[in-house]
Amino acid sequence: MPRPFPWEVGGLAGYLVKRISLLVPVLLGISLVVFLLIHLIPGNPAQAILGTSATPAQIARLDQALGLNKPIWLQFADYLGRVLHGNLGESISEYQSVASLVAYALPNTVELAVVALVLAVVIAVPLGVASAVWRNSPFDFAAMAFAQLGISMPVFWLGTLFVEFFALDLHLFPTFGIGPPVGQAFAALAQGNVGPMGSLVSHAMLPALTLGLTGAAIVSRMVRTAMIEALGQDYVRTARAKGATSGRVVWRHALRNAMLVVVTVVGLQFGYFLGGAVIIESIFAWPGIGRLTVNAILARDFPLVQGCVLVIAALFAFVNLLVDVSYAVLNPKIRYQ
């Protein structure tokens, strides 16, 4: 009997192979759409590099040097060929490889996203659970008002407010900038030096709080809804009838079941955070991938835009995959086929 292909294998391994192979057409599609969009909007990189002082002859010469005078399909084929060889190309406006620019910006974005996510979850889950348990109480109303506010408040305003209060008035956190690199902070921590890690967290706190609060608002509402539903289920009544404490019912029985929904929302939020919160990155002078992408678009730096979007899309897809895989851990009844 011939050995089955990996995607014919059941269980998690087969599922993973299937999902990962599905990523290929997704990323290819995204690449094509981004490539077409950036080439269709007015303005070109040669113009952006040479500025308004350039003559048409200069622009034509640079167009040729950059390969921008080739037919668009040929440019796309060139690009794909390079990407398949693991080469994201050279940034036109920043005189560096796209890979090195992304490699510097991405860890900063991940750091911000992780801290923001931790803050969001730490705030949202207890809030959502408490709201569901004491639903329609003054606490519930207050919590949901907070959530409404968190969703409605523009981040540039919230961020400025935080800086004004926590940095300028209370001097608790810096007004802007990033701390030491993550690797350096962990290495120092391993040697018992908490300084760099402290600096890292203190720099990340205000941008992460600004980003995380919006996420917390969304997640807390989802937790509340999912918990209300879970608390009305038969198994909760059974657990209570068996004499389980109210805490155990809420945290072990109801929340565990509500977690499926929560994890989905949290995963989506994390993907959104990773996509780069460009406004927050601007307010806090945070050198992340969001700003890198926007600058690249403004400079019509085609290779950099494509590289950034590809990396963001791949990360988003990867986070979604993790969320799907986590379902089985949370609910043993779920099987992958």
Nearer to other proteins, 61 or 70 (CB): 61
Asked if residues 162 and 155 have their Cβ atoms less than 8 Å apart, the reply is: no
CB closer to other proteins, 104 vs 139: 104
Nearer to other proteins, 51 or 192 (CB): 51
Q: Which is nearer to other proteins, 93 or 233 (CB)?
A: 93
Scanning the chain, the segments in alpha helix (DSSP H) are: 11-40, 45-50, 56-65, 72-84, 98-133, 138-152, 155-162, 182-190, 195-231, 234-241, 246-248, 255-274, 278-283, 289-298, 302-330
- Of 275, 269, 326, nearest to 30 (Cα)? 275
Tell me the C-alpha distance between 271 and 315, whole Å.
7
Could you identify the residue written with the tokens 């209060």?
Answer: 165
CB of 205 to other proteins, least distance (A): 15
Q: Give me the residues that bind other proteins (CB under 8 A), please.
A: 41-44, 47-55, 58, 61-62, 65, 93-96, 101, 104-105, 156-157, 160, 163-164, 167-168, 171, 174-178, 279, 282-285, 287, 291-292, 295, 297-300
Report in angstroms how near the CB of residue 22 gets to other proteins at its nearest: 33
Q: How far is the CB of 15 from other proteins (least distance, A)?
A: 38
Shortest reach from residue 74's CB to other proteins, in Å: 22
CB of 65 to other proteins, least distance (A): 7
Residue 238 CB, nearest approach to other proteins (Å): 52
Nearest to 308 by CA among 296, 317, 298, 321: 296
Cα–Cα dist 118/181, whole Å: 19
Nearer to other proteins, 93 or 225 (CB): 93
DSSP conformation class of 7: G
Pick the closer one to other proteins by CB: 74 or 285. Answer: 285
